[in-house]
Amino acid sequence: MKFDQNLFTSVSAAAVITLMAGSAFAQDTATSDDTQAEGDDVIVVRGIRGALGEALRTKRDADIIGEAISADDLGTLPALDLAEALQVIPGVQVNRENDDGQFRYGEISLRGLPGSFTNVTADGQGFASPSGSVTPAEGVPNSFGAFGGQVFDGVFVNKTNRADLVEGGIAGTVDEKIADALSKPDGQLVVRAGVQYEDLPEDFLPNIFVTGTKHLIEDKLAVTFKLSHEEESFRRDAFNFTTYQVLRTDGTRNRGGFFDPEGGTFEDWKAANGIAEDETVLYPAAFRQYSESREGFRTSFVGGAEFQATPELKLGADILYTNRELDLDAQWILAGANGITTSITPTSDPFAGYEDANGNTVWVVPGYDYQDITYSQSTRGDTLKQDAQGLFLTAEYELDKWFFDASIAFSEAEFARVGGNFQAQYLSHSANGHENTNGTFGSVNSGSGNSDDYLFTLEFDPAVTTLGTNLDLTYPNTDNPTANFVQVNDPNGVARQRFFSAGNEVFRDRSDNAINFNAERELDLGLLKSVKVGGRYNEQSVESWIYLHSIAGLNVEGVSNDLFRPGPGEGDFFGGEAPGALMTGEWEFLDQSATRDVLLANGVVNPNNYPTSPLNGFIYRQDNNGNILRANERATTDTTISAIYALANFEATVGAFDIGGNVGVRYVETDLKGEGFGTVNGEVVPSTAENSYSNTLPAANLSIELLENLYLRLGYSQAMNRPNPAGFTPSLAIEEIEPGTEDTLGRVNVTLPGTEVEAYTSDNYDLSLEWYNRTGSLVSLAMYRKDVNSFIDQRLICPEDGAGLGFGTLSEVDLGGGIVECRIDADGREIRIEETFNFDTTITIDGIEVAVQQNLDFLENPFLAGFGVQASAAFLDVSGEDQNGDPASIPRISDESYNIAGYWENDRFSARLAYNWRSEYFLQGGLSITGAEDRQVKPRGQLDFITRYDVTDQFAVDFRAFNILEVQYEEYQSQNEMMVRQTAFDGRTFAINGTYKF
């Protein structure tokens, strides 16, 4: 396994030293909880040590390998949301990328797999996720940012499986705990209120949290609740380079060509910089500078009631609710230094970028002067709504040695994003070459990975143009629903300026309803202590669509220069850390609200009754056949899941060892039915598809107490992960291409419905060595292997029977040179049939996790005894091949990560300083915002802090600081950090809260 040896050695040394220290100083280690007996009294240790000790008790008592965060620790961790709280767990990594304006989305990766491979439950029950993801080749990713994490009564991360757990997570299961009302103290009421300050947008944001419990009938009936409400306002400033383009040899200031104003040639410049004649030079040709802000709120609620009807029967009901609503306001400058008349004059030394397939060096020149670019001033605004609600009803019945429990769970979730993109674009295109420019010129430098060196200037030739896009030109209104822009031409008929209205809407509506039944029988048959059987019936549904908006029917004639506003200025944009950025007076954008008011001054004019959005009234964009664009992606997918299991628990003393554990098997049947629309030669037609598959999932867990407080745990399981139903539409697409000059017979393109795939599967092997060396302390080493199968991809097929497509039988024709075509027997036309399938390749993930948690309260010095440390490190290695035989790689996964936190506390005061770090990882390309090429994310570490003072036994204040070092988020490509793709800055966050216990 390819681990950083220095880091591995350091962490291992720390573990050994801590083991020695624990052995030397351990006092009474007969118990590992955070209570100490003193006569008949029990002294309860509170604060950080108490919270960490409670989590360790949960981990130690579990019959599987896992990690816990207690309810109290959720409040003492320096974390902005539940995802950040989870990163203290070894193997958890928080993803902070900004692919689509989703920063602070709250997604994690776990044990070498993206968040879509992690199952999330609420007190053991599945519930609908307010996720907007439709990535078909994955499951439904977590969206922890939609929830106020403090409403849960702790979290347990199941790293191994048990047969009675809800299936669906190869990486593991994150179970968000909801405590029973009768288990909580009577009369408890806690109110916490505070304010959060976001440094970059300079906003103060109030928040409040209230929790209470009341026993209405002592020991029989109790109710409890947790409510949080937080105002949100955060901002991200960034610049990115989406395209590196070949610098052309043309010396006439044409088509992104090299130009030396002093008459030198491209060959002269290459020779002067040590570049061979046959070597390629790239320059950052398309780039964006932008500032995105989100403002809104998040309200989360958990409430429960519990009734002990009889000594044998207990009934419970829990409600889970969250609602997050955010408004996006984003200002973008989009520049393309690769137009027909653009000239490039290098101003910086080139550097070696990478080697091409032939072993030749590809060079990059990061800085240049340009003349005549296309640029756009864009404002993007949208509303984002995430909500989820669930009702969980439970019943427990105990009779002699039998224990029965049943539950019914209902949940719904919605993700809705309605976006607007108003853009003024000034074009460099011209029919007369460089003699007819648009008057723009300036300088660019990518910074080569250093934001201090980033440079973008934009200047104008006053004889040709003035600052900004001239919106005082009269743009023509249109009723064309295929259009998302209108344009103005110059006197020569050449397109010069465009105005875009290019919004969209993304909608996901999910439901998840289930009924569960379990029966357990206690036994006294030597090793066998109990057997448990049960079943689950689950119905899930998702309705999904993404539609684009047209500019048709909008009042574009009213658009004018009065709609422009200045962008972030010097000392404001990027926190002043990008001094070369385009600043106020140079950077302007369209005011979102004012532009919308102008465009809708006459309402949406729609005499032809084109389909319109129910969310904002805009006309949906259509194709040339009169169909709504992407109509074939709208679908409803229903999933029915039936599961039964059997489980045996065992416990015994074998020789000198106490052992325990469980072994069982779970059988699951999955039935899918999709209803949507397909396209046949441009006509949208109803389409349906069905699929069924089954999985048998054995699981075994073994715990051996080797010595007092030293445990060896082993686990094996087979797990499954269903694909994202929102991404697998039942759409069948058939397009018959007419004969052309090079294709005399024509051909047929077919895309089959995507519902034929089955779940990912894996074989999981786990080992954990845990030493609870003293009260509230732990040293552990875990190792695991996951053999993951059934990955999903696309391929071309040629079924002999024609797959029922209506073209008759098909045959493969060998054209030689390794080229094989699929032909229609009846007429000889080529037919290309693409299907989504599970390919037969195993990818192996090996991991090591080291954790140390140590209190120093055994020291005699009162000051030193207040200290403690919590640290962990995780290392993983991915092996195997993808479908094409290339080495396997998994996006959003770092090979190494670690967390270290030091804390100090006494009876009244506590403080915790935490640092987390993860190594580089890669992201897949393909988005217009981020570019087509895959990119790598630089290693990143973040330092956070929290301190708390208990003024009285009832009142406490705390202060928190996040991203203290103002670390940036950075992406690059081609394994070269100098080939920068995106650099983003979020700034720091501070918070102060007051808590009162009634």
Cα angle 305-306-307, degrees, rounded to a multiple of 5: 130
Q: pLDDT, tens digit, for every residue of 932-975?
A: 578 899 999 999 999 999 999 999 999 999 999 999 999 999 99
Would you say 825 and 811 are in contact if contact means Cβ atoms under 8 Å apart?
yes
Query: pLDDT band for position 741 (50/70/90)?
Result: low
- Is it the case that residue 995 has pLDDT exceeding 90? yes
- Please tell me the distance from the alpha carbon of residue 350 to that of residue 343, in angstroms, as a whole number: 17
- Residue scoring higher pLDDT (2 or 812): 812
- Is it the case that residue 27 has pLDDT exceeding 80? no
Element (H, E) at 328: strand 313-336
Would you say 564 and 605 are in contact if contact means Cβ atoms under 8 Å apart?
no
Query: What value does the mean pLDDT of the chain take?
Result: 87
Q: Which residue has the tokens 């019943």?
A: 395
- Please tell me the distance from the alpha carbon of residue 676 to that of residue 806, in angstroms, as a whole number: 20
- Please tell me the distance from the alpha carbon of residue 973 to that of residue 446, in angstroms, as a whole number: 13
Q: Which residue has the tokens 């240049």?
A: 368
Q: pLDDT, tens digit, for every residue of 706-737?
A: 999 999 999 999 999 998 887 677 888 999 98
CB atoms < 10 A from the CB of 888, how many?
Answer: 17
Query: pLDDT band for position 81 (50/70/90)?
Result: confident
- Is it the case that residue 175 has pLDDT exceeding 80? yes
Cα angle 434-437-441, degrees, rounded to a multiple of 5: 105
pLDDT mean over 421-426: 88
Would you say 854 and 53 are in contact if contact means Cβ atoms under 8 Å apart?
no
pTM (predicted TM-score): 0.89
Query: pLDDT band for position 98 (50/70/90)?
Result: low
Name the 3-class secondary structure at 691.
Answer: strand
Write down the pLDDT at residue 913: 96
Distance from chain centroid for Cα 533: 36
Q: pLDDT, tens digit, for every residue of 898-935?
A: 999 999 999 999 999 999 999 999 887 654 444 557 88
- Please tell me the distance from the alpha carbon of residue 446 to that of residue 982, in angstroms, as a whole number: 10
- Please tell me the distance from the alpha carbon of residue 311 to that of residue 219, in angstroms, as a whole number: 10
Would you say 839 and 828 are in contact if contact means Cβ atoms under 8 Å apart?
no
* Residue length of the chain: 998
CB atoms < 10 A from the CB of 743, how many?
Answer: 12
For the chain, the domains span 5-177+507-547+630-790+840-997, 239-286+331-381+419-506+549-599
DSSP 169: -
Query: pLDDT band for position 132 (50/70/90)?
Result: confident
Q: What percent of the chain clears pLDDT 70, i.e. is strictly above it?
A: 90
Write down the pLDDT at residue 272: 95
Element (H, E) at 459: strand 459-460
- Please tell me the distance from the alpha carbon of residue 282 to that of residue 346, in angstroms, as a whole number: 11
Distance from chain centroid for Cα 371: 39
Name the 3-class secondary structure at 75.
Answer: helix
Q: pLDDT, tens digit, for every residue of 217-259?
A: 999 999 999 999 999 999 999 999 999 999 988 665 566 789 8
Question: Percent helix, strand, coil in the chain (nearest 5)?
Answer: 10, 55, 35
Would you say 587 and 567 are in contact if contact means Cβ atoms under 8 Å apart?
yes
- Is it the case that residue 101 has pLDDT exceeding 70? no
Range 325-344 burial, b when 16+ CB lie within 10 A, else e: bbebbbbbbbbbbbbbbbbb
Distance from chain centroid for Cα 922: 13
CB atoms < 10 A from the CB of 601, how many?
Answer: 11
pLDDT mean over 768-791: 94
Quick one: tokens of 917?
A: 């770090």
Q: What is the CATH number of domain 5-177+507-547+630-790+840-997?
A: 2.40.170
Q: Which residue has the tokens 């660019």?
A: 444
Would you say 997 and 192 are in contact if contact means Cβ atoms under 8 Å apart?
no
Would you say 647 and 533 are in contact if contact means Cβ atoms under 8 Å apart?
yes
pLDDT mean over 698-708: 96
Q: pLDDT, tens digit, for every residue of 457-494?
A: 988 887 776 544 567 778 899 999 999 999 887 766 77
- Please tell me the distance from the alpha carbon of residue 105 to that of residue 12, in angstroms, as a whole number: 34
Write down the pLDDT at residue 925: 62
- Please tell me the distance from the alpha carbon of residue 812 to that of residue 119, in angstroms, as a whole number: 42
Q: How do strand 940-950 and strand 935-937 relate by DSSP bridges?
A: unpaired
Write down the pLDDT at residue 465: 64
Which residues pair with residue 917 across a beta bridge?
Answer: 898, 941
Would you say 48 and 129 are in contact if contact means Cβ atoms under 8 Å apart?
no
Write down the pLDDT at residue 138: 62
**Region of 440 on the Ramachandran plot (φ > 0 left; ψ -120 to 50 alpha; else beta):** beta
CB atoms < 10 A from the CB of 920, how many?
Answer: 17
